[in-house]
Amino acid sequence: MSLGVAALDVQTGEMAVGRGGEQEFMAASLSKLIVAVDVLDRHRAAGRQLDPADLDLIDRALSDSDDNAMNVLWGKYDGAGAIGRVADRLGLTARLPSDATETWGDTVVTAADMVAIYRHVCRTWPPRTAR
Report CA 105 to chain centroid distance, whole Å: 12
Task: Find all residues with CB under 8 Å of 122, minimum gap 6, and list them.
Answer: 8, 10, 13
Please indicate whether residue 99 or residue 32 has the higher confidence score (pLDDT). 32
Instruction: List pLDDT tens digits, range 71-104.
Output: 999 999 998 899 999 999 999 988 877 776 677 7
Q: Residues 58-67, buried b or exposed e (16+ Cβ, 10 A)?
A: bebbbeeebe
Q: Return d(Cα 20, Cα 91) in angstroms, integer.
A: 18
Position 25 pLDDT exceeds 90: no
Rounded mean pLDDT, 30-44: 93
For the chain, the structural domain boundaries read 6-124
Contact predicate 86/107, CB 8 Å: no
User: Which CATH code for domain 6-124?
Assistant: 3.40.710.10
pLDDT tens, position by position, 40-52: 999 999 999 999 9
Which comes out higher in pLDDT, residue 5 or 67?
Answer: 67
Residue 70 vs residues 7, 34, 64, 102: alpha-carbon distances, Å = 26, 11, 11, 12
Predicted TM-score (pTM) of the model is 0.82
Pick from 124, 127, 122, 128: nearest CA to 13: 122
